[in-house]
A and B are shown apart, each in its own frame.
Chain A
Amino acid sequence: MGDFYDLCIVTNTESLHNFLERAFRLGYKGVGVSGLSISTRDRLEIDSKVEVISRLDLYFDKNIQAKRVLRRERRNFEIIVAHPKNVNTARFSARDGRIDIVNFHGHEYLFSPIQAKLMANEGKALEICLSHLRTLKKLNPRPLTRIIRKYYVMLTLAEEFGVDVVCSSGATNLYEMLSPKDVIAFISILGLGNKAAQALTKAPREILERNRLKLSDKFILPGVMLLDE
């Protein structure tokens, strides 16, 4: 099937090694660690078969807050994920070139057809985080239906408008990391169908490659690059 990426785990640097071992056993090629900058990652000198991807989560309810952080931190992180709280910030997240992925956790209503079209035009990806499911202590039908309906609506909209989807576990401890093929099976029955595998393979890899190229020394401007002689 391919190389799997889990773009969101939340951990500190002490437990990172355990997460990487578990990710390797589950079959992941790379994991995204929230809040880990490129410089910190390089300083840790991690020796693992699993790639460590630096990720920044941006929570904001005014655009000016996001702009300040992005101006300062864009070059310190490989992936930037926006968590908008209102319509203005959702539109800003879709338009700004520095943001890669948009996550509507808690504000799923913001992902409307207009938002989906904007994100598809600008090449932004939608993130589906399965940490929602863990808020359920028992398998009661009503709360589970509510959560799954939110995922279903977002995924069907994303498929209709051609928005790339990225799926992550949002794991805060080792036992919250999920097997990639089980995740693919779950989101395929929720509405992505045959494209479910891309949410863990092709979509995250493309975002990562694009950003690594932009952060490299060869990149000058969009469309202008230094070639090897």
Chain B
Amino acid sequence: MLVRARRLRRRYLVFKVETREKDRIWSRREVEEALISSILVLHGVMGLVRSHFKLAKYDEQRGIGILSCSHRYVDLVRSAILIAGLRLGDSTIHTIKVTGTLKKAIRIFNSLPKNTS
């Protein structure tokens, strides 16, 4: 078992995908691929590994999701989010909030209505 000092400290990023075409729905797989590709292109395989990146939750209908990453790599993941929108065509992905606990991230995730833009 890892001692407390060595345990990974995570940050949870609540993000939103917005598209010009209102009816376009991006699937979880497409969004995850876009995010992983942008991290790989920006920071390589080691960047992806060290960031402990994971798409924890994603709602396709609302286009809102939660990512988790290591606390040291929040800037890296945010910059990857910025350019991941390019992969999805005429879309933009932006971070709504960064939290330290999954519980708070889920609370924010559930509180966002369908058409926030």
Contacts and interface: CB of A to CB of B under 8 A. Distances in A.
Interface in A1-40: 22, 25-26
Contacts, number: 63
B79 A186 contact: yes
Interface string A160-177: 000000000000010111
Given A139-B38, A185-B75, A189-B75, A134 B86 contact: yes
B78 A182 contact: yes
A197 B76 CA distance: 15
A148 to B, nearest CB: 8
A46 interface: no
A141 interface: yes
A139 B94 contact: no
> Which of B41, B82, B117 has the most CB atoms of chain A within a 10 A radius of its CB?
B82
A139 B78 CA distance: 16
Nearest to A185: B78
A178 interface: yes
A182 B95 contact: yes
A148 B42 CA distance: 9
Interface residues of B, number: 26
B82 A183 contact: yes
Give the interface size bracket for A toward B: 20 to 34
Interface of A: 22, 25-26, 133-134, 136-139, 141, 144, 148, 173, 175-179, 181-183, 185-186, 188-189
A182 B41 contact: no
A188 B91 CA distance: 23
A139 B95 contact: no
The 10 closest A-B pairs by CB, nearest first: A185-B78, A179-B94, A186-B79, A185-B75, A182-B82, A175-B92, A185-B79, A139-B87, A182-B78, A186-B82
A178 B82 contact: yes
A121 B24 CA distance: 50
Interface string B77-97: 011011110110011101100
B74 A144 contact: no
B20 interface: yes
B70 interface: no
Contacts of A26: 94
Given A139-B41, A141-B41, A185 B92 contact: no
B40 to A, nearest CB: 9
A5 to B, nearest CB: 17
Given A175-B90, A175-B91, A185 B82 contact: yes
B94 to A, nearest CB: 4
Nearest to B43: A189
17 contacts: A26-B94, A133-B83, A136-B86, A138-B86, A139-B37, A139-B87, A175-B19, A175-B20, A175-B91, A177-B92, A178-B92, A178-B94, A181-B78, A185-B78, A186-B82, A188-B75, A189-B79
